[in-house]
């Protein structure tokens, strides 16, 4: 006897592409962000992944800051959350609950060829809650060379996210992605993750 299994599906979802907002943050908002992050100390970026015979410095080179979820920064979380919600409604259709983590501000420097090699934002433990990743570009595209955000949904060539100060790029956290080495200037960005539960 042939067995058949049938489950409800949503054929409108597309979880193999990115969603983006051109100039999602205004010049005035970007100036205020620059003022706010100046008050936070840098730490050296690390990764929780087991490093397959690579050192942390070979795999990821950047400095980061963590933005607390306080009233002073709340408008940034709200704005990113609204854009992520729109992307999820229109493209991904994930079951989202919360923003369980803080915004990470990152700088990549040319003198050390700052980069972050291929990785996913999901993993074990707390990382398993991530479903949507958000990157906010804080540098103009002509302020640095290299430093492309590339996403690999499968196939021959990766997708290259649009450069531009204030642009917001949103993609599934399980999608492989990287920041290529910066060869001139400094690349600045925000990242934030949304989810709050296992995939379903």
Separation in Å, CA 165 to CA 15, 66, 125: 25, 20, 33
pLDDT at position 2 is 67
pLDDT at position 113 is 97
Contact 191, 179 (CB under 8 A): no
The answer to whether residue 192 scores a pLDDT higher than 80 is yes
pLDDT at position 155 is 86
User: What is the average pLDDT score of the chain?
Assistant: 91
pLDDT at position 106 is 98
pLDDT at position 55 is 57
In percent, how much of the chain has pLDDT > 70? 90
pLDDT at position 47 is 73
Task: Name which of 157, 181, 21 is nearest 109 in CA terms.
Answer: 181
H or E element that contains 196: none
Taking residue 48's Cβ as centre, other Cβ atoms within 10 Å add up to 10
Band (pLDDT 50/70/90 cuts) for residue 7 is: low
pLDDT at position 49 is 52
113-151 pLDDT, tens digit per residue, is 999 999 999 988 888 899 999 999 999 999 999 999 999
State the Cα–Cα distance between residues 162 and 32, nearest whole angstrom. Answer: 23
30-86 pLDDT, tens digit per residue, is 999 999 999 999 999 887 654 455 555 688 999 999 999 999 999 999 999 999 999
Predicted TM-score (pTM) above 0.75: yes
Separation in Å, CA 139 to CA 10, 44, 102, 198: 37, 20, 21, 33
Of residues 142 and 100, which shows the higher confidence score? 142
Query: What is the phi-psi region of residue 141: left when phi exceeds 0, alpha when psi lies from -120 to 50, beta otherwise?
Result: alpha
H or E element that contains 73: none
β-sheet bridge partners, residue 67: 103
State the Cα–Cα distance between residues 175 and 57, nearest whole angstrom. Answer: 22
State the Cα–Cα distance between residues 114 and 139, nearest whole angstrom. Answer: 14
pLDDT at position 3 is 67
Following DSSP, what letter does each residue of 109-123 receive, concatenated? EGGGT-EEEEE-S--
3-state DSSP call for residue 94? coil
pLDDT at position 51 is 47
Band (pLDDT 50/70/90 cuts) for residue 92 is: very high
């Amino acid at each position: 006897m042939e067995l058949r299994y049938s489950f409800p599906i949503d054929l409108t979802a597309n979880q193999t592409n990115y969603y983006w907002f051109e100039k999602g943050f205004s010049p005035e908002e970007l100036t205020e962000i620059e003022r706010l992050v100046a008050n936070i100390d840098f730490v050296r970026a690390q990764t929780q992944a087991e490093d397959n015979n690579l050192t942390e410095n070979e795999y990821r080179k950047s400095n980061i800051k963590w933005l607390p979820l306080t009233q002073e920064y709340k408008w940034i979380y709200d704005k990113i959350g609204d854009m992520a919600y729109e992307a999820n409604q229109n493209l991904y259709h994930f079951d989202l609950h919360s923003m369980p983590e803080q915004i990470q501000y990152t700088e990549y420097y040319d003198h050390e060829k700052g980069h972050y090699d291929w990785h996913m934002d999901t993993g074990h433990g707390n990382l398993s809650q991530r479903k949507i990743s958000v990157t906010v570009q804080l540098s103009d595209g002509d302020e640095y060379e290299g430093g492309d955000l590339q996403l690999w949904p499968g196939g021959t060539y990766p997708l290259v996210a649009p450069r531009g100060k204030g642009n917001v790029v949103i993609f599934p956290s399980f999608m492989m992605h990287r920041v290529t080495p910066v060869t001139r200037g400094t690349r600045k960005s925000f990242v934030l993750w949304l989810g709050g539960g296992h995939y379903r």
